Structure 1
Amino acid sequence: MLDRRALLRGLAVAGGLAVAGGISGCASPFTEVRLRLATGGTQGVYYTLGSALAEAWQQELGMRVAPEVLATAGSVDNLRLLTTRAADVAFSQVDAAADALATLPPGSSTRPSALGRVYDEFVHIVVRRDAAAHRLADLRGLRVSVGAKESGVYFVAKRLLESAGLAVTDLQAAYLGINDSVSAMQEGRIDAFFWTGGVPTGGVDNLASHMPIRLLDLTDLLKTIRTRYPVYAPGTVPARSYGIEKSITTVLVRNFLLVDASMPDDLAYSLIKALFEAQSKLVVINPLARSIDLRAAISTEPIPLHPGALRYFREAKDA
């Protein structure tokens, strides 16, 4: 648990915390803080972990009201909410976050910074096992779900298709989230779908228990993809995942927890500290939380770490 007395002593030495709604003399300096957390679809990892994290933050920081968990379309939508101040904290894939940072107008009053890298996901390009498609380029003309618009899945799908010389318009494209993509494949309405998620992802695992599937291997495109988009790293989905016969090479996508750079340092510090204090509880909600690693969490390039988060990681390293 977060040691509130120690935290209060530290804040007193530092001269106190100036946050909106803070009340002098409260048991916690964060009692009246109100936060909105942008997550994703209600069946996705972002929303599941975000809901658990909101409860942990309320308990650990002594907030009167738990952060509001916003169901969204995903990373791109989350970044829009963050940069328009409609959300205070947001989950985002590295690629969408880097693009948002690069396209901010000069002198922008909002600028995303990272509390930390929270977990990694793998790009899944799922096809029926008997499908003729064996490479990404083979998807031309097929019925393919490229993810919901404003989602991180759609963002990465467009980039991977372009690396294979394709555009979304070269497909019979559908814009579906994971649940609808799984249903559509089971019903024979699509031939393939894109997804980014941990291994295994529940929806894909469930699909594999009902019908034989494969994942497309991206070995032939990996050099092109990484040259164009250095934010991506190679990833491997091991054999026997989803019943596949051999491991496949794909793209790994880092996921961050973002705030605006203007967030008070002590609040950012306490949010990331509370996340690690509550990690065992988060794992119960979703095993993917087990991959949240203190050493890897600082790897948020090209998004800068928030100074408050950086102070936490330095202290944790020296502890």
Structure 2
Amino acid sequence: MRKVMAPILILLTLLLAGCGDTKYFSVATASSGGTYYPIGVGLGHLWTEEMEGIKVTGQSSAGSIENIDLLRKGEADLAILQGLIGAQAIEGSGSFEGNPYEDLRSITMLWGNVEHFVLMNSKVETGTLEDIEGKRFSVGPQASGTEESTLTIMEGLGLTKENITPEYLGYDDTISAMRDGRLDGGSLPAGVPVSSVMDMYASGVDATVLEVTDEQLEEINSIYNTWYRFVIPAGTYPGVDEEIHTIAMPNFLAGSVEMEEEDVYNLTKAIYENLDTVHSIHSSAKEVSLETALDGLPAPLHIGAYNYFVEVGLEIPEELIPPEAK
């Protein structure tokens, strides 16, 4: 019996020793029907396959606000967040009024929510965001991320709901209401191309995507510094033969300052040394690139990510340099 048990005990000891060398991380995403979840799961697979001794799993959640709570409580190690929510969290404003999360750290921008403020051409005056004043305009479903970002953009322009006749419609319903003459325009932020905006142009709705001036971008970022310039290429939408100069907010990868420097360095490096794999995860993940890695990030970089980006030659804006590096 002893001769039989001895090899088994040795094998178990080796297995347990091996398990002790593995680090387990979770990345908080959102509901399984959206974009955050498949990208988070896909990144987890990439890290697990490419990094020795690392296992990363995707974790479904209610989205950015809950993800901040999960990071704060140590119930998630990483999270995908909307830029505006990250800015509110670190500043202790908006949904986090009086309860800042100063340990939040950015790792990298992933892909952008591109602002599409659409307006019937009969109501267009300057062709920029200021044209929504006085119009029947959908700000997005109540209590949605669309409504929150739209109202923040309006605040940067000196506008409130009192300056428009607000409606609270989803994307497809917004275009339908415009087509029927019941609505002048609406806010439709999403990754390019947005299917409802495709439908708007393809079905002959006489409307346009409004542009954002540099001055308007600066004013919007004075509220929350998380938007960046985005140019929609000509030909993206049917019949639109010129570039559309708008702005975007990042969906970004974040973690806590408490994550080990070496781990975050290696996680960041694995993303950018395996971009072909990253781009195959989801259509939105095709935007991941070193050229946009720092765009719109609302919180300082984690020291591990900072070290990687310095190593590959990126110029780090002052506001993104982590206190740990100063």
TM-score, normalised with respect to structure 1: 0.71
In the other structure, the counterpart of 1:216 is 210
Distance in 1, Cα, partners of 2:99 & 2:67: 21
In the other structure, the counterpart of 2:4 is none
CA contact (8 A) 2:40 2:58 kept: no
Query: Is 1:115 paired with 2:111?
Result: no
CA contact (8 A) 1:83 1:110 kept: no
In the other structure, the counterpart of 2:197 is 204
In the other structure, the counterpart of 1:38 is 29
In the other structure, the counterpart of 2:118 is 126
User: Cα–Cα, structure 1 residues 192 and 305, in superposed 2: closer, same or farther, change >3 Å?
Assistant: same
CA contact (8 A) 2:156 2:221 kept: no
Distance in 2, Cα, partners of 1:233 & 1:101: 19
Deviation at 1:214, TM superposition (A): 1.5
Query: Is 1:158 paired with 2:147?
Result: no
CA contact (8 A) 1:234 1:250 kept: yes
In the other structure, the counterpart of 1:149 is 143
User: Cα–Cα, structure 1 residues 223 and 302, in superposed 2: closer, same or farther, change >3 Å?
Assistant: closer
Q: Deviations over 1:64-91 (max 9, x none)?
A: 9751332534x44533443344433222
Instruction: Write the mapping of 1:68-147 to structure 2, written as runs, cut at 5 A.
Output: 68-73=58-63, 75-103=64-92, 111-128=103-120, 135-139=128-132, 140-146=134-140
- Determine which structure has more spread, i.e. the larger CA radius of gyration: 2
Instruction: Write the mapping of 1:216-295 to structure 2, written as runs, cut at 5 A.
Output: 216-219=210-213, 221-243=216-238, 244-294=240-290
User: Cα–Cα, structure 1 residues 167 and 77, in superposed 2: closer, same or farther, change >3 Å?
Assistant: farther
Q: Deviations over 1:71-123 (max 9, x none)?
A: 534x4453344334443322224343223212179997862101122234421
Q: Deviations over 1:212-238 (max 9, x none)?
A: 342122337345335555543333333
CA contact (8 A) 2:225 2:296 kept: no
Residue type of the partner of 1:257? L
Distance in 2, Cα, partners of 1:229 & 1:107: 17
Distance in 2, Cα, partners of 1:215 & 1:28: 53
Query: Is 1:312 paired with 2:308?
Result: yes
Paired residue total: 288
Picking from 188, 192, 204, the partner of 1:195 is 188
In the other structure, the counterpart of 2:6 is none
Q: Deviations over 1:166-219 (max 9, x none)?
A: 22355454555xxx4124423657543323333323453355434434212233
My pick for the range that moved more, 250-259 or 163-172, is 163-172
Residue type of the partner of 1:35? S
User: Cα–Cα, structure 1 residues 182 and 37, in superposed 2: closer, same or farther, change >3 Å?
Assistant: same
Residue identity over aligned pairs, in percent, reads 23
TM-score, normalised with respect to structure 2: 0.70
